[in-house]
């Protein structure tokens, strides 16, 4: 009872279970901690499990900066049957199963390598993407035919875990917006036997790992015993950008959006070019704002420079 009015600020790594939507997972967290200001940074399908990045309180201020990060999944594709939803929910039960092909592990890896790189992918008809203001899955269930949009995606790595007919398992690193269900369907088409996604687990989002995630039950337990704060990540542990630090005299001017000059900078972390997204930190390393660099990182070190260096996008404190 002592934590019923506790208000949390930060990023929570949640291990979403199978069978609920990402929205429902967030709703369960809200209910557990009795806090409305909670959201997530990237949807997982109801049948998928794994890492859901949840923003709490002031942590919601950086949600927009986390949506573009790449994802890593472990997937299992079942060969030999098709599915209207590209997963186990919509399998065509009236179709005769087809034989999965014989492949050695080496042959299976060569086949998977064919999906590497930048390509165009069609969004599944059964997805939450909106077309003309309506969810695709709502239109699909009502029998309304509509052409799902096509998006550019990138598959950066794809490695075989094992192939035991009819199940093909692999680990994949990909850009945001990649539908592994669509990839499973493509695999079935390319092998000529049909396929659907039978299991999916997201293991990382950018540098954030499922290894640090906790379950919904653990959220409830840690909130009850007063230890949930220990599981929240601060801005500096989550934002993936290079940064610069400003002196303490300038810190109080950040809220008013004061232009940053070279004289205000005490340290540069990493390298960046003009136009890149970067973080502004105080002398202790606390992230104060995220914005766009108006010059490259070398210019931030030029003690004679007087030009504007930084354009604010979001002040965080």
Say whether 94 is catalytic: no
| Of residues 10, 13, 9, the one with CA closest to residue 211 | 13
Dihedral of CA atoms 119, 125, 126, 127 in degrees, nearest 10, equals 50
Strand partners, 56: 10, 38
Strand ranges (E), 165-264: 167-174, 195-205, 208-209, 232-233, 243-246
| Of residues 55, 40, 80, the one with CA closest to residue 191 | 80
Number of H helices and number of E strands within the chain? 9, 17
Dihedral of CA atoms 231, 235, 236, 237 in degrees, nearest 10, equals 30
Q: 44 is written with which tokens?
A: 């997982």
Burial of 284 (0-12, 13-18, 19+ CB in 10 A): exposed
CB 5 within 8 A of CB 18: no
Distance, CA of 75 to CA of 198 (rounded, Å): 8
Distances (CA, A) of 271 to 63, 120, 296, 301: 23, 31, 8, 11
The DSSP 8-state label assigned to residue 265 in this structure reads: E
Active-site pick, 45, 87, 186, 264: 45
Give the active site residues: 45
């Amino acid at each position: 009872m002592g934590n019923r009015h506790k208000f949390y600020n930060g990023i929570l790594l949640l291990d979403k279970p199978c069978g609920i939507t990402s929205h429902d997972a967030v709703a369960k967290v809200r209910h557990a901690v009795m806090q409305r200001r909670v959201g997530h940074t990237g949807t997982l399908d109801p049948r998928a499990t794994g890492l859901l990045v949840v923003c709490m309180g002031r942590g919601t201020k950086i949600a927009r900066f986390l949506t573009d990060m790449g994802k890593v999944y472990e997937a299992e594709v079942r060969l030999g049957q098709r599915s209207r939803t590209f997963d186990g929910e919509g399998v065509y039960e009236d179709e005769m199963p087809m034989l999965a092909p014989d492949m050695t592990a080496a042959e299976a890896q060569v086949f998977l390598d064919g999906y590497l790189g930048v390509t165009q992918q069609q969004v599944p008809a059964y997805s939450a993407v909106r077309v003309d203001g309506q969810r695709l899955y709502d239109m699909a269930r009502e029998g309304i035919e509509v052409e799902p949009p096509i998006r550019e995606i990138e598959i950066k790595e794809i490695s075989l875990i094992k192939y035991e007919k009819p199940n093909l398992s692999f680990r994949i690193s990909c850009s945001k917006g990649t539908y592994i269900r669509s990839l499973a369907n493509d695999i079935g088409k390319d092998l000529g036997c049909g396929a659907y996604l039978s299991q999916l687990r997201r293991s990382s989002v950018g540098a954030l790992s499922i290894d640090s995630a906790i379950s919904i039950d653990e959220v409830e337990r840690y909130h009850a015993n007063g230890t949930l704060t220990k599981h929240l990540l601060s801005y500096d542990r989550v934002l993936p950008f290079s940064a610069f630090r400003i002196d303490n005299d300038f810190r109080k001017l950040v809220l008013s959006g004061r232009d940053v000059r070279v004289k205000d900078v005490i340290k540069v972390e990493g390298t960046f070019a003009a136009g890149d997204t970067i973080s502004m930190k105080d002398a202790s390393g606390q992230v104060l704002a995220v914005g766009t660099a108006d010059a490259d990182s070398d210019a931030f070190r030029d003690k004679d420079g007087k030009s504007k260096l930084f354009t604010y996008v979001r002040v965080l404190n």
